[in-house]
Homo-oligomer: A and B are copies of this chain.
Amino acid sequence: MDSKKKSRYFDIRQQLGEQLKCLEGRLETQCAMVQEIQDFYRRKAELEMEYSRNLDKLVKSTWSRHKQEKQRRENWDKFSTFNCWSQLLEITRRQSHDHGILAEICGTHVYNRLADIQENSQRLFKKCKDIGSTSHEDILKILYELQKAMKTYHSYQQESKSAEEALKKVQSQKAKVEQQLSGKSLSTSRKFKKIEKQEDERQEKYSVNKLKALHARNEYLLNIEVANAAINKYFSDDVSDLMDCMDFGYHNSISGTVMIYQTAHCNMRNSHLSSIELLNDLISQMDPQNDKQRFLELNNQAFMLPKKFEFQPYKGDEMRQISAQRPVQDQLIQSFKSSQSVLEKLKLENDETWKSLEATEKSLTELINRKDVDVTSLFMEENTPPRSPHESDKKKAQRLETERYYLEKFESYTLSNNRISRLQAKFNAIKKALGEDTVSTTGQRVRNGSEQLVFLELSSRIGGLHHRPPSLPPKPKKRRIGRNPQVGQPKLFGGNLEEYIEATSQEIPTVIKSCIRVLNLYGMHHQGIFRIPGSQVEINDLKNAFEKGDDPLADEEDACDKINSAAGVLKMFFRELKPPLFPLPLFDELINCSRLDEQAKIDKIKELLLTLPRTIIVVMRYLFAFLNQ
């Protein structure tokens, strides 16, 4: 029984030792895992840094090559493609920056924290292990006490038993003596006295021992309670607390490093969002019309309309018009009639060509704007099989064939269109020479031309805003190459006025009408109108509202306070138009006009402007009416 007790003491001592070993192993694992994560971040940091440097190198070498070839590329920035290229570089530059920061975060911030975590865990563990050892010592001391108390109890019990037996023995001796000496004076028997004395002694010894044993049992029982309480408390609470204390901050600190990495990812994600927005802007800024206009401005000399051919009379020849005198009249009439029939035939043919052209353009556009720009499927883990090369070849062949047919149609359309213009000019001239009466059945166009002249004159001279001109007959829309189908409503600011008017069917766009209405109401006696700039914020608000199709100046009381901004937005609108209101090919000729005297200038400008589309002439007339007030 004693050995059993002893073995329990050793069992528990061994179990406690085992605990410390387990905990030590736990610390090692925790640190090894942190070390592994640290290694991972270190290597990740190297990768990120290398990637960042490579991206940076790519951007820098591309730019430096661009600078070296500056002379050969001096006009590049006039193209929207260039903007596209430079913004791609800018996005890459930012990626380089981001990944550089990520490298720093992985290699320094997270890495150092992980080193701290290991250091902290080891230090905490060491101290907690010491505390644990102290606890163990306490427990073992208590178990030792328990062992001792048990031994004491057992030995005292033994002693108490033997004292009891000794007492019993002397008591039975005493009874025997009493029997032997029955009748004799017991009080005088020496033997009896001796026995009696012995009994007293043994009685006392037994009492003492019994008390001792009682006491030792109490002590033993109390020690059991104490030992059980100590062990129970230790196993239920203390060891758990000890582990909590060892782990103090470990999980939180690991979470902290994960959070750092997470916020880094958030920032990377936001960078991607900026890139996506930038790419979106790029797409909306890819503007063929703008590119074309910039190119024409840049090469003004080559694309400027040459001066008109003027009649060079033979000296002394006073006559400057086509003569319809008798001898040539018949021939003219003949010529007129044949022109007329050829013209009609050509126009019909040309209309047919246009229809084919339009249809082919639509097909070709569809072939070009293939809907396959979404690469999301590639990012899926299970890749869809790539399209067969056969299909791609077929698409290409289809495109080439459509394109060939389109160009064929375009060629015949363009050439015949020019021929029609020439024939029409000849026809008009002959008609004019023969006099209108002769040819009243034909030439709607000519009449329109002269009517327009009259209106322009009227408005520029008298300012006939209130003389509404008789409405003009509808004219077919301008036929445009390469803009089929028009997507959505065209831009107002920075857009094409003609296309805007066509698309919205507003004869005078709201922005012009509304600004001029407000300027007429409140601006005419407003000092500095068109000179004092309005509020930039207000102008932008007005611009955005007009762009959306609203009329922000509809409320007159409100508009009254925005008079300078209304003038500003109107100026901005005309400044940003592409092409400008006075088109580029006419620029030189219009400038030349300023050298002419008053009447000649007006005639010449009228003549030049009448070559513009009808819709633009209507707007100009409206403007002149306002400006002549």
- Contact mask for chain A residues 223-257; partner B; CB cutoff 8 A; 1 contact, 0 none: 01111111111111111111111011111111110
Q: Tell me the bound Cα distance from A426 to B111 in angstroms.
A: 52
Chain B residue at minimal CB-CB distance from A292: B243
In the complex where A310-B224, A378-B104 touch, is A316 in contact with B247 (Cβ < 8 A)? Answer: no
Interface string of A64-95 (1 = CB under 8 A from B): 00100000010110011110110011001000
Task: Decide yes or no: A85 and B154 within 8 Å by CB, A229-B421, A233-B417, A328-B215 being known contacts.
Answer: no
Beyond A244-B483, A252-B368, whether A1 also contacts B312 by CB under 8 A is: yes
Q: Do B249 and A322 touch (CB < 8 A)?
A: no
Chain B CB within 8 A of A327 CB: yes
Question: CB < 8 Å: which of B123, B239, B375 contacts A105?
Answer: B375
Tell me which residues across on chain B come within 8 A of A80, comparing CB atoms.
251
Contacting residues, chain B, for A98 (C-beta < 8 A) = 379
A287 to B410: give the CA distance in the assembly, Å. 73
CA distance A10 to B268 in the complex (A): 62
Q: Which residues of B contact A273 (CB under 8 A)?
A: 269
CA distance A254 to B12 in the complex (A): 79
Partner of A248, one of B282, B379, B482, B583: B482
Q: How many residues of A contact B (CB 8 A)?
A: 195
Q: How far is the CB of A41 from chain B (nearest CB, A)?
A: 8
Using CB atoms, name the residue of chain B closest to A82.
B33
Given the interface contacts A267-B379, A319-B217, does A54 sit within 8 Å of B58 by beta carbon?
no
**Roughly how many angstroms separate A480 CA and B34 CA in the complex, as a whole number?**
26
Does A153 touch B at the CB level, under 8 Å? yes
Q: Is the CB of B47 within 8 A of A292?
A: no
Task: Check: A352 CB closer than 8 A to any chain B CB.
Answer: no
A361 to chain B minimum Cβ distance, whole angstroms, is: 8
A403 CB to closest chain B CB (Å) equals: 7
A47 touches B51 (CB 8 A): yes
Please state if B73 and A32 are interface contacts (CB–CB under 8 Å).
Answer: yes
Interfacial chain B residues near A142, Cβ < 8 Å:
422
Interfacial chain B residues near A302, Cβ < 8 Å: 15, 18-19, 21-22
A226 with B417: CB separation less than 8 A: no
Q: A325 contacts the other chain (Cβ, under 8 Å)?
A: yes
> Does A422 contact B247, Cβ atoms closer than 8 Å?
no
- Across the interface, do A150 and B585 meet the contact criterion of CB distance under 8 Å? no
> Which chain A residues (102-136) contact chain B, with CB distance < 8 Å?
104-105, 109, 123-124, 127-128, 131, 134-135
Interface stretch among A168-176, A195-203, A258-266, A617-625? A258-266
Q: Does A450 reach chain B (CB closer than 8 Å)? A: no
A426 and B105 within 8 A (CB) = no
Q: Whole-angstrom distance from the CB of A84 to the nearest CB of chain B? A: 6
* A84-B269 in contact given A314-B153, A429-B221 (Cβ < 8 Å): no
- A279 close to B (CB within 8 Å): yes
Shortest beta-carbon distance, A158 to chain B, in Å?
Answer: 7
**Contact B238–A258 (Cβ < 8 Å):** no
User: Closest CB-CB distance, A141 to chain B, in whole Å?
Assistant: 11
CA distance A22 to B301 in the complex (A): 10
Indicate whether A186 reaches chain B with its CB closer than 8 angstroms: no
Residue A288 is within 8 A (CB to CB) of chain B in the complex: yes
A333 within 8 A of B: no
Q: Which residues of B contact A264 (CB under 8 A)?
A: 375, 379
Q: Does A308 contact B (CB under 8 A)?
A: yes
Interface: A11 (CB within 8 A):
yes
* A37 close to B (CB within 8 Å): yes
Of the listed residues A85, A306, A316, the one surrounded by the most CB atoms of chain B closer than 10 A to its CB is: A306
- A481 and B426 in contact (CB under 8 A), knowing A411-B131, A611-B232? no
Within the assembled complex, what's the spacing in Å between the Cα atoms of A235 and B302? 10
Q: Identify the closest chain B residue to A404 (Cβ).
A: B127
Residues of B within 8 A of A323 (CB): 214, 217-218
Q: Can you give 14 contacting A-B residue pairs, CB < 8 Å? A: A15-B301, A47-B58, A50-B54, A104-B378, A142-B422, A221-B322, A225-B428, A226-B426, A236-B305, A238-B417, A243-B292, A244-B482, A245-B481, A265-B279
Q: List 18 other contacts, CB 8 Å, given A237-B417, A256-B373.
A: A33-B82, A40-B58, A40-B92, A43-B58, A51-B54, A97-B379, A98-B379, A105-B378, A123-B403, A221-B322, A221-B429, A222-B322, A229-B424, A230-B422, A232-B421, A241-B481, A254-B286, A256-B368
Q: Which 4 A-B pairs have the closest CB atoms?
A: A229-B425, A157-B314, A269-B272, A244-B481
